[in-house]
Amino acid sequence: MARASASREVSGAKVELADIVRVHGAAFRAAQRLCGVQHRALRAIERCRTAALGGELRACDACGERRYVYHSCRNRHCPKCQTRAKERWLAARRAELLPVPYFHLVFTLPHELNALAQGNPRTLYAMLFAAAAETLVEFGRNPRWLGGEIAATLVLHTWGQTLSQHLHVHALVGGGALSNEGTWLHARRGFLFPVKALSAVFRGKFLDALGAALEHRRLRLAGSTAAFSDPRAQHTLLADLRKNAWVVYAKRPFCGPEPVLEYLGRYTQRVAISNERLVSCDTNSVRFRYQDYAHGNRRKVLSLEPPEFLRRFVLHVLPRGFTRIRHYGLIANRNKRVLLAHARAALNAPAPASTAPPAESVTAFWQRIAGIDIERCPYCRHGTLRLVAVLAPRTHPPP
């Protein structure tokens, strides 16, 4: 069956990540030492929308054609299961946006820390969040730049376009701050904070946290990182990391909330690779599209051997329960309702009509988002698909 699936993919049928895992996943898992959350992600992806998860049998009331509809895995690393999660998240965020320009910044860790992050992902990712957020909040409170409390959303990404390890957080920051007196302090036009200063403070905060973690043996040092167990090696590592400027990048600000929502929709629920980027898969290679940022954002196609493709993919499976989208300042969870109300009052902005998105059926959701009536028969395009039977999870799909 694996060979037949590979043959279909090579012959031009649309390839999906689930196909690659089904064809090559067993051999990959047998050859690699994976942690539990990586195993679960691969297993969920290969079973997504198959008989293994159960589902429903529906029949058209006009032509009688039958159709199997299987359940989704809902794993956050599955590229087929993010649309509804994204829309629900965006609906909740609409009530938090302020009528000000929004700035997009990116805080990146040096690649020298990649191996350390592979052995200690939860700790290194938390340090990255803390260093970036503390830097932004500190600059916001500094009277030289704003002098008040900012609103910031940070999103963790661990990948580059070629699925290589590229640890960074995207920060979306409102253009201004709420002062202690309750007035709104507007950012200068087209400018929030100086990037070089942000970079230096971000580097210092992260390395201070890393040094403390190494000193108190809170990091697991094994394999290629075992050498850092020696205090002299740790000192050398920290000194080398302090020598170079770290990358903090600022993009042109968004003007108003709608472009912000469009941006958030692209970035917040993104997985390491989407099915749309996959070109083909066969016995020897997986080919996918990527943008070469180093050469004018040219679109290219990269070919990897299947085990290497899957190795790169599982690098970006997050630790269990790890929160990859976090809010700070005015929109931090503990004070959000009060502080946002003060900010809107300072901006003379009306309060949102409702903070809770309305309940919506799956049918209505797909009709609104994609213009698809999932109850319409795809064969005769006239009848309605009616529920015939509920299908229990099965090891093998029905004929």
pTM of the entire predicted model = 0.89
**Cα–Cα distance between 250 and 252 in angstroms, integer?**
7
148: closest CA among 187, 193, 178, 191? 178
Residue 170: name the closest of 77, 101, 249, 90 by CA. Answer: 249
Q: Please check whether residue 264 is in contact with residue 104, taking contact to mean a CB–CB distance below 8 angstroms.
A: no
Residues 290 and 381: their CA atoms lie apart, in Å, by: 37
Question: Which of 105, 263, 294 is CA-nearest to residue 198?
Answer: 105
Lowest mean pLDDT of 89-93, 138-142, 348-352, 386-390, name the range: 89-93
Mean of the pLDDT values across residues 164-170? 95
Q: Across residues 13-33, what is the average pLDDT? A: 93
pLDDT tens digits, 371-385: 778 788 988 988 999
Question: Could you give the CA distance from residue 13 to residue 7 in angstroms, rounded to a whole number?
Answer: 9
CA nearest 146: which of 191, 105, 95? Answer: 191
Tell me the helix, strand and coil percentages in the chain, rounded to 5.
Answer: 40, 20, 40
Cβ 135 vs Cβ 329: under 8 Å: no
Question: How many helices (H) and strands (E) would you count in the chain?
Answer: 12, 13
Amino acid at 285: S
Of 124, 131, 111, 314, nearest to 219 by C-alpha is 124
pLDDT value of position 84: 74
Residue 227: predicted pLDDT:
82
The residue written with tokens 């992806």 in the block is 45
Predicted confidence at residue 6, as pLDDT, reads 36
Distance CA 328, CA 171 (A): 10
Given a contact cutoff of 8 angstroms between Cβ atoms, the answer to whether 176 and 100 are in contact is yes
Q: How much is the average pLDDT of 114-142?
A: 97
pLDDT of residue 96: 86
User: How does pLDDT run across 38-74, given as a tens digit for each residue?
Assistant: 999 999 999 999 999 999 999 999 999 999 989 999 9
How is residue 78 annotated by DSSP?
Answer: -
83 versus 289: the higher-pLDDT residue is 289
pLDDT digits (tens, 9 = 90+) for 309-320: 999 999 999 999
User: What would the mean pLDDT of 126-150 be, rounded to a whole number?
Assistant: 97
Whether the predicted pLDDT of 212 surpasses 90: yes
Alpha carbon distance 179, 145 (integer Å): 12
